[in-house]
Structure 1
Amino acid sequence: MSTKPPCHHYPMAPLIRFTLLGLYLALVLPLPLLAPEPLRQPLLLASITGLVLVVAITSERVELDAQGMRVGHPPWCAWLLRRGWQLPWSRITALTPVTTSQGGRVYYVRSAAKEGDRSPDAWLLPQRVSRFDDFLARFTRATGLDTDGIGRISPPWTYQLLALLSGLLLAGELLALILVPA
């Protein structure tokens, strides 16, 4: 009886995911309540649809196993988003740093092209995953590439501040809903 080699899953970091969900709710939740009566139901349906899309987008995950790495979404939403990629460890050749317009740094995973392959030769290294240090250590062991100096795309305090502000917005909206007569 053979056992399948372990697959390591790295979902989006909870701080990032729940901050983005909270921000969406803080910005969109009051809209159906503030809309004129004829627009309330369509706006409520649009808000729910938007929430499902934000949940889907923030459900992206990375999987590492003995063969390579995969970046994508779970089956319930993969059919809709159709984003994602996979690459065997043997084709990964380098990491290329690129400075963003906001002053951050992202890294592209470079690969050797296969004969007759028209797929791109660079993919964005996921930098918003949970257990990021473990992810980088496994990536380094599998590829032999140096990942020292690679950090998250933005420091945690930015998402902590955004989470705080989103929470304050939601609390203010709830307080207004309770205190303001209909």
Structure 2
Amino acid sequence: MTKSSVRSFPEIALSSVYIGISLGALALAAALSEQVHLTETGIGINYPQWVPAWFRQGWFLAWPDITAIKPRATGQGGLVYYLITPKESAHLLPMRVAGFAQMTRMIETQTGLKMATVKPLAQVWMYSILLGFSLLLALIDIWILWAGH
């Protein structure tokens, strides 16, 4: 075995960091690729075909199957809402979607449930700030990896 074919520990560790960042970015993209579909027949959550079913599964509820909406407190002090069916199955109402007010109006129209108190979990400006800080942290991570190499 020649010296050039043996990789040092820092090279292996750096490779592991790159692989970890790549896998994390892929998992994050998969988790954030949720698509909400509102139709005349019901509401559903789907994911693109490249997201494996074992990672994220979609669902669909027909409007007549939705009998109630129940709030639940989160660990951070917010409220999330579940759509309840006659069989007592609960499906989390998508809370972070563009057109949230339009979605809740359609649910109210189609099911007759009162949605006036249902508010989005967080406002768009909050996500803009989080995105800005996340990008800043990513740039710092890239700089550290580049400067340390």
Which TM-score bucket, shorter chain as reference? 0.7 to 0.9
Whether the 8 Å contact between 2:31 and 2:56 is mirrored in structure 1 is no
Aligned to 2:79: 105
Aligned to 1:60: 34
Q: Report 1:160-175 matches (<5 A).
A: 160-173=128-141
Q: Distance in 2 between matches of 1:174 and 1:76?
A: 27
Q: Distance in 2 between matches of 1:167 and 1:45?
A: 19
TM-score (norm 2): 0.80
Query: Which sits farther off after the overlay, 90-99 or 71-80?
Result: 71-80
Q: Distance in 2 between matches of 1:126 and 1:102?
A: 17
- Residues 28-82 of structure 1 show CA distances to partners (whole Å, capped at 9, x for unaligned) of xxxxxxx821222233223212211110110011111122111131222143424
Q: Distance in 2 between matches of 1:70 and 1:52?
A: 23
Relative contact order: is structure 1 or structure 2 higher (C-alpha 8 Å, sep ≥ 6)?
A: 1
The aligned amino acid for 1:74 is P
The aligned amino acid for 2:107 is F
Percent identity among equivalent residues?
A: 31
User: How many Å apart are 1:174 and its aligned residue?
Assistant: 5.6
1:84 counterpart = 2:45? no
Q: Give the number of the structure whose alpha-carbon radius of gyration is greater.
A: 2
Whether the 8 Å contact between 2:69 and 2:82 is mirrored in structure 1 is yes
Aligned to 1:143: 111
Aligned to 1:121: 89
Unpaired stretches in structure 2, ≥5 consecutive residues: 1-8
Whether the 8 Å contact between 1:72 and 1:78 is mirrored in structure 2 is no
1:132 counterpart = 2:85? no
TM-score (norm 1): 0.67
The aligned amino acid for 1:105 is L
Q: Distance in 1 between matches of 2:138 and 2:16?
A: 22
Q: How many residues align?
A: 141
User: How many Å apart are 1:176 and its aligned residue?
Assistant: 5.8
